[in-house]
Structure 1
Amino acid sequence: MSEKRLLTAERSKLGKVDLATSLRKEGAWDTLTLETRKRLYALLPAPRPGEPPHDPDVNPLRTPFGPYIEEELRIWQDDLKDGKETKKWREEAMLAGVERREGKYDEWKESERERNFGGVEPEDAVGGENGEDGEDGGENA
């Protein structure tokens, strides 16, 4: 399987293994070149003032970033298994974004909102803005 297919195919082996466990294994981080390790660390937030710089010899999964990286790995694997890394899905997602910005789905969104939450009532209707029901529910008698 090519590298591209490994990273994009729904049935990729990468979607079936526990990546965090594999990447946390002794020596896994060391298989990467120093340049690659630095590039990966550059994707993480920079150290705060007073904190030591990132050490490219330390596996980031063994740092305080570990839980966040593991969560992102799980999300990426779910996306991979759901086909969201394929070229077709990405193109469709980009097109949908353009169409949403152009207002293509505004009417549908409004009808869904009304279906789920009901229409907007005038302020003087039952349950108006002060939480009063507008009728003599026996309390004002």
Structure 2
Amino acid sequence: MIEIFTDGASSGNPGPGGYGVILRSGNHYKELADGFRLTTNNRMELLAVCAGLEALKSLNQQVTIFSDSKYVIDAVEKKWVFGWLKKGFAGKKNKDLWLRFLNAYKLHQVKFVWVKGHAGHPENERCDQLAVLAAKGKELKIDTVFEMENKINKTIL
């Protein structure tokens, strides 16, 4: 059994953002984090889940993902994302990350657990710290898809 704890953060939404992930299985423990110069909170919440699943080295693992993101959990648990996929994500945001998620998700047996954010859950609090620190980093990555879509939308509007 593998536990993945995730959180995303964005200052300004959109603004600088980051994600934090804890992977835990038995005595094994690993933290992941990364920061981006311009992104959204929902993108970072979803990217955290992607990064956690993609870090798994073996296929068909039993995984429990703990997240404070209703956006991510409801989309999967209520099966909305599968309907979005059938419709080519028409009118939906974050298609690139949802497709990335689905590619990793199908490789494992995944269960989601919602945790209330900023409510003292130790792993969620640590993931929040990782995400915020990553967002404040000096070497922020470019969330290419978001920045390109944002640029195109500004040009059109």
TM-score normalised by length of structure 2: 0.25
Q: Which has the higher strand share?
A: 2
**Structure number, greater radius of gyration:** 1
Q: Which has the higher helix share?
A: 1
